[in-house]
Amino acid sequence: MFNTLRTRLCSILCCLLSVSPCLSKAETRIWTDVNGRTLEALLLKQSSESVTLRRSQDQQVFEIPLSNLSAADRRFLELNQASRKQAAHSQSASSFPSEGLKWEAKIDAPNDIKIEVLSEDNRESHYQYQSKHFRFTSNTKLSRKVVREFAEIFEATYRLVQQSPLNWEVRIPKDRFEAAFYHDEASYLAAGGLPGSAGVYIPYKQTMLVRLDALSTKKTSSSLTLDDGPQGTLIHEITHQVQHHCLRYLPTWLAEGYAEYVEVIPFDRGKFRLDRIELRSGRSRPDYMDAPSQLLEQSRSDWNARFELDPMGVTRQYRSAHLLTYYFMHLDGDGDGRRLWTYLRALESGQSNPTAILLDGRTPEQLNEDLLDAFKREDLELEIY
């Protein structure tokens, strides 16, 4: 049945693309199929699988599979969709929602994840696969099962960031996000990975690097498989990748704090459980936190310098950024996220001194008191370091 339907759609496309154009270029577009045949038609609707076009010659409407269109047409559709999403984003970001920010209790990966095998070259040890929003390149063969499991993690993280009520601006570079997998530390480091890490996002390459042997994976006789286990580091870096466009203006505390926030959300079988976030770190009480005023003004260079100057304090630095992000998202003021939402809009527009929005007339000392009181109500005892 599937093949019959596909044949019918292909026949429709061939029929459509045999027609010569006749209407105004301002109202229609010239479409081209994979064989180079053209058609003048108006775009009515597009989805992840097809487009609906109205033929210029006789106004007949047809649905065409994306796979039958040229690469240029598919790129046009991608940009068109991104433009509409950007317009919707700008409109939704113009004013704070009257009911406050609404957070979903659960975010699922798409239940129809499809994996396409692009290449599996055993001689060159080059393997490439892709899902809807990500392309995966590996130097070791991956089973279909493990590719799908990785895609589930990547696609679910993409969806979580995209659907956040904070209105993060998510843009897909080219046609997909890129991720490169390496089977051992040596090949991972040679590609630009960081020593001791399981994954890293390289902004200037817009590529995610993943070290497979540092994740919950195991080698079988023919391929690699993914064990059940926490994949927090992977999720942290995917968050950076999906937020790539935002990284140019986000302060370090928020970029890292939000990635930490996403990393600790319980994730099981393709589902983020935002209703099960655990604030306590598992350490003995009290928990320690860097001064919020220090974090708010910390530059990326100062953040990175701590890795050398105070290696023992790096964990607390990430934990502090996470707590500050959580506070402004869920606990500040009336708990509606208004100050953080307004702060993000100011960052996007390049407004000067946006930190004043978060303080909102409070001194750093008053902010400390508000934060400590808020977390105490959440049964988390903190001390500002």
pLDDT in tens, 311-348: 888 889 999 999 999 999 999 999 999 999 999 999 98
Does residue 253 lie within any of the structural domains? no
Does residue 222 lie within any of the structural domains? yes
Does residue 268 lie within any of the structural domains? no
Cα end-to-end distance, the chain, whole Å: 66
DSSP 246: G
167 and 220 both lie in a single domain:
yes
237 and 137 both lie in a single domain:
yes
Predicted local distance difference test score (pLDDT) of residue 24: 35
Does residue 318 lie within any of the structural domains? yes
Q: At 64, which helix (H) or strand (E)?
A: strand 61-65
119 and 234 both lie in a single domain:
yes
Q: Are 72 and 32 in contact (CB under 8 A)?
A: yes
Q: Using DSSP, state whether 312 is helix, strand or coil.
A: helix
**Four-residue CA torsion sign, 76, 348, 103, 317:** positive
202 and 121 both lie in a single domain:
yes
Predicted local distance difference test score (pLDDT) of residue 298: 92
Predicted local distance difference test score (pLDDT) of residue 227: 64
- Name the residue type at position 199: G
For residue 334, what are the contacts with CB-CB under 8 A and spacing of at least 6? 100
Does residue 254 lie within any of the structural domains? no
What are the residue ranges in the chain where pLDDT is below 70? Answer: 1-27, 82-94, 216-230, 281-285
Predicted local distance difference test score (pLDDT) of residue 121: 94
Closest Cα partner for 303 from 260, 365, 242?
260
Q: Using DSSP, state whether 302 is helix, strand or coil.
A: helix
Rounded to 10 deg, the angle between the 252-263 and 314-326 helix axes is: 90
302 and 190 both lie in a single domain:
no
Number of structural domains found in the chain: 3
- What does pTM read for this prediction? 0.74
Which residues form the domain of 320?
273-385
Q: Are 376 and 323 in contact (CB under 8 A)?
A: no
Residue pLDDT, tens place only, 261-295: 999 999 887 899 998 888 876 665 678 899 999 99
66 and 164 both lie in a single domain:
no
239 and 292 both lie in a single domain:
no
Predicted local distance difference test score (pLDDT) of residue 228: 60
Predicted local distance difference test score (pLDDT) of residue 85: 54
79 and 144 both lie in a single domain:
no
For residue 42, what are the contacts with CB-CB under 8 A and spacing of at least 6? 27, 28, 29, 53, 54, 56
Does residue 73 lie within any of the structural domains? yes
| Domain-ending residue, one of 85, 103, 129 | 85
Does residue 171 lie within any of the structural domains? yes
> What CATH number should be reported for the domain holding residue 26?
2.30.30.700
16 and 123 both lie in a single domain:
no
How far from 305 is each of 230, 288, 299, 301, 309, CA to CA, in Å?
28, 20, 10, 6, 6
